[in-house]
Amino acid sequence: MKHQILVPEVVAESGLNLLQEHGLQIKQTSSIRKEDLIADLKDCDGVIMRVARLDADVLSANPQLKVIGKHGVGVDSIDLDYCRTHGIVVVNTPHANSLSVAEHAITLMLACAKQINYKSACYRSEDYGVKDRMLGNEVTGKVLGLIGFGNIGSRVASIATGGFGMSVVAYDPFLPQGKREDGVLVVHDIREVYEQADFISIHTPATKETIKSVGAQQFAWMKPTAYLINTSRGAVVDEQALIQALQEGQLAGAGLDVSDSEPARGDNPLHSMDNVIMTPHCAGATYDSMDHMSKDVARGLIEVFNGQKPTWPVVWPEQ
By annotation, the residues acting in catalysis are 233, 262, 281
Measured distance CA(1)–CA(23) in Å, rounded: 10
SS3 label, residue 284: coil
Close Cβ partners of 196 (under 8 Å, ≥ 6 residues apart): 143, 145, 169
End-to-end CA distance of the chain: 29
Respond yes or no on whether the N-terminal peptide bond of residue 63 is cis (omega within 30° of 0).
no
Partner residues linked to 142 by β-bridges: none
Please spell the DSSP secondary structure of 9-71, one letter per residue: S---HHHHHHHHHTT-EEEE-----HHHHHHHTTT-SEEEESS--B-HHHHHT-TT--EEEES
Exposure string of 12-46, with b = 16+ CB inside 10 Å and e = fewer, is beebbebbeeeebebeeeeebeeeebeebbeebbb
Please answer whether residues 258 and 231 qualify as being in contact, where contact means their C-beta atoms are separated by less than 8 angstroms.
Answer: yes
Residue (of 253, 295, 211, 304) closest to 116 by Cα position: 253
Helices and strands per DSSP (H, E), number in the chain: 12, 14
Helices 116-124 and 98-113, axial angle in degrees (round to 10): 60
